[in-house]
Amino acid sequence: MLPRVRAAVAQLVSALGAPAPAGPGAERGSEPPPEPQPPRCRPPFLQLSPGELRRAGQRALRAVLSPRRRLPWSAGYAEVINAGKSQHNEDQACCEVVFVERRPSPRGQLASREGGREPGRGRKGFYFHYWALFDGHAGSGAAVMASKGLHLHICEQLRDLVDILQDPSPPPTCLPHNAGAGFVEPSRVSLAEDDEEVPNDAVPRFHLEKAVSHESLVIGAIENAFKHMDDQMEQERGSQHLSGGCCALAAIYLMGKFYVANAGDSRAIIIRNGEIIPMSREFTPETERQRLQFLAFLKPELLGKEFTHLEFPRRIQPKELGKKMLYRDHNMTGWAYKKIEEEDLKFPLIYGEGKKARVMATIGVTRGLGDHDLKVFSSNIHIKPFLSCFPEVRVYDLTQYEHCPDDVLVLGTDGLWDVTDDKEVAGVVMEVLMSYEPNDPCRYTMVARELVVRSRGTLKERGWRLANDKLGSGDDISVFVIPLGGPGNYT
């Protein structure tokens, strides 16, 4: 399965005219590879000319970019580069309508190998809509790769479920031997059929069988797609000169429901009739403290004798040995005092507050893709075991509520949320939408632009400043605004 996705990604990358992330030396193997060129591509749906791409990178301007053509589902989008914290815009975005084609049956594959065609069969499958933001760190390679590949991995995972998801009866617990990679016969060999082979017992055999919903199969498919994307990065990081990692936030619309998957510190909220509905939570050293401490407690070798799994409110000084200090262990949410021992003088696994909180003094997000080579500075201690590539997936059922054109799903990287809170975002959304006709397809892009402009601020003598003269966001900012009222006219 993976090679297929990899090929598709390679094809896409070349078709889109983006600079191939792999240096030529990687193919030949004999000469040393040249210094990798960091990718400077922006999302293809922006359709930037080379001149526009150059201008987009000018720090004095920080021009807000949005797509020229209407995006599927009339979604709005806008982005702006950071104020100098990295060479390129390390955010990436993707917006696609993806066809999930049912995997051909083993019989069909056989016929195809023999040069024949499956008779009388069209392409069977379904579409999903997809919007995603990737916030890269330590380079933009991981974000670029994820923006080109994650939806293909999701598609790949869903291909095994085409028949099951379209069948209103509960998903079968067990699939037969002869199913290909997850293939299900059209007639669905059910558990009941399977049971007929076995002599009847006096007691029901599976009286404790758990019912699994279609929705939870989609969630499982998205979770495993994130894992496969991360595995691909691990395998190809050498050939693709892939360094760093990225946060990933994806919204998938499938069969009446939005699935919002988040791994990192981006955020999604729904604004419905003025009410804010959180559709994600952030994964940071602070929010995941107990998971990380529990892992370090069980596997202290991961700390390389340099760190302690206990949390302290500040560094302890050697002269404080024997005094009592506030601490938190993995199973505590409150604080207590403990006598300081030699072991406590090590650096805490989790340290710092808010945006400054770090895992092993290195990274400020605890979920995402990539980072396979990330180590504690000048040490051989790997960070990756503490990071999770698994997203939290929240589901919003569109059919449960009558939506008006002003109800939207907003996805934003932390560049937006660091300076503009949920309530302010909701205020901007309502304010901007009110000034456009409900059927104006540009209105969602105008909202996205306004959110980006207000979070970036205006360049003054003392840097980028918000309307209230506070510092604007110096980070890359990317925003999708997706109307819940419906997809609009796309093909």
- CB 149, CB 232: distance < 8 Å: yes
CB of 341 to a copy of itself, least distance (A): 14
Nearest to 481 by CA among 32, 93, 57, 17: 93
CB of 182 to a copy of itself, least distance (A): 6
CB of 6 to a copy of itself, least distance (A): 21
* Comparison of 138 and 217: residue with beta carbon closer to a copy of itself: 217
Q: What are phi and psi of 249, to 5 degrees?
A: -130, 120
Q: What is the distance between the alpha carbons of residues 447 and 410, in angstroms, rounded to a whole number?
A: 10
Nearest to 247 by CA among 93, 89, 109, 369: 369
**CA distances in angstroms from 239 to 22, 24, 37, listed in the order given:** 6, 9, 13
CB of 370 to a copy of itself, least distance (A): 17
CB of 34 to a copy of itself, least distance (A): 38
The count of other CB atoms within 10 Å of the CB of residue 323 is 12
CB of 198 to a copy of itself, least distance (A): 8
Burial per residue of 160-195, b for 16 or more beta-carbon CB atoms within 10 angstroms, e otherwise = bbbbbbeeeeebbeebeeeeeebbbeeebbbeeeee
- CB 79, CB 477: distance < 8 Å: yes
- CB 290, CB 296: distance < 8 Å: no
Length of the chain measured in residues: 491
Residue ranges that bind a copy of itself, judged by CB under 8 A: 157, 160, 171, 173-177, 179, 182, 198, 206, 208-212, 215-224, 291, 294-295, 298-299, 313-315, 319-320, 322-326, 328, 331-337, 351-353, 356, 388, 390, 392-393
Pairing verdict, β 125-137 and 245-254 = antiparallel
CB of 379 to a copy of itself, least distance (A): 21
CB of 473 to a copy of itself, least distance (A): 22
* Comparison of 12 and 179: residue with beta carbon closer to a copy of itself: 179
Q: What is the distance between the alpha carbons of residues 386 and 224, in angstroms, rounded to a whole number?
A: 18
Nearest to 477 by CA among 65, 83, 81: 81
Q: What is the distance between the alpha carbons of residues 467 and 424, in angstroms, rounded to a whole number?
A: 13
* Comparison of 233 and 393: residue with beta carbon closer to a copy of itself: 393
**Quick one: tokens of 5?**
């996705």
Residue-wise DSSP of 202-269: SS-TTTTPPP--HHHHHHHHHHHHHHHHHHHHHHHTTTTT--SEEEEEEEEEETTEEEEEEESS-EEE
* Comparison of 330 and 443: residue with beta carbon closer to a copy of itself: 330
CB of 18 to a copy of itself, least distance (A): 31
* Comparison of 161 and 477: residue with beta carbon closer to a copy of itself: 161
Q: What is the distance between the alpha carbons of residues 226 and 216, in angstroms, rounded to a whole number?
A: 15
* Comparison of 177 and 462: residue with beta carbon closer to a copy of itself: 177
CB of 70 to a copy of itself, least distance (A): 32
* Comparison of 40 and 227: residue with beta carbon closer to a copy of itself: 227
- CB 465, CB 474: distance < 8 Å: no
* Comparison of 292 and 447: residue with beta carbon closer to a copy of itself: 292
* Comparison of 137 and 328: residue with beta carbon closer to a copy of itself: 328
CB of 155 to a copy of itself, least distance (A): 15
CB of 130 to a copy of itself, least distance (A): 17
* Comparison of 352 and 485: residue with beta carbon closer to a copy of itself: 352
For 4, how many CA atoms within 13 A lie in the half-sphere containing its CB?
9
Mapped onto helix, strand or coil, the DSSP state of residue 25 is helix
Q: What is the distance between the alpha carbons of residues 283 and 412, in angstroms, rounded to a whole number?
A: 15
Q: What is the distance between the alpha carbons of residues 406 and 426, in angstroms, rounded to a whole number?
A: 11
* Comparison of 201 and 275: residue with beta carbon closer to a copy of itself: 201
* Comparison of 169 and 468: residue with beta carbon closer to a copy of itself: 169
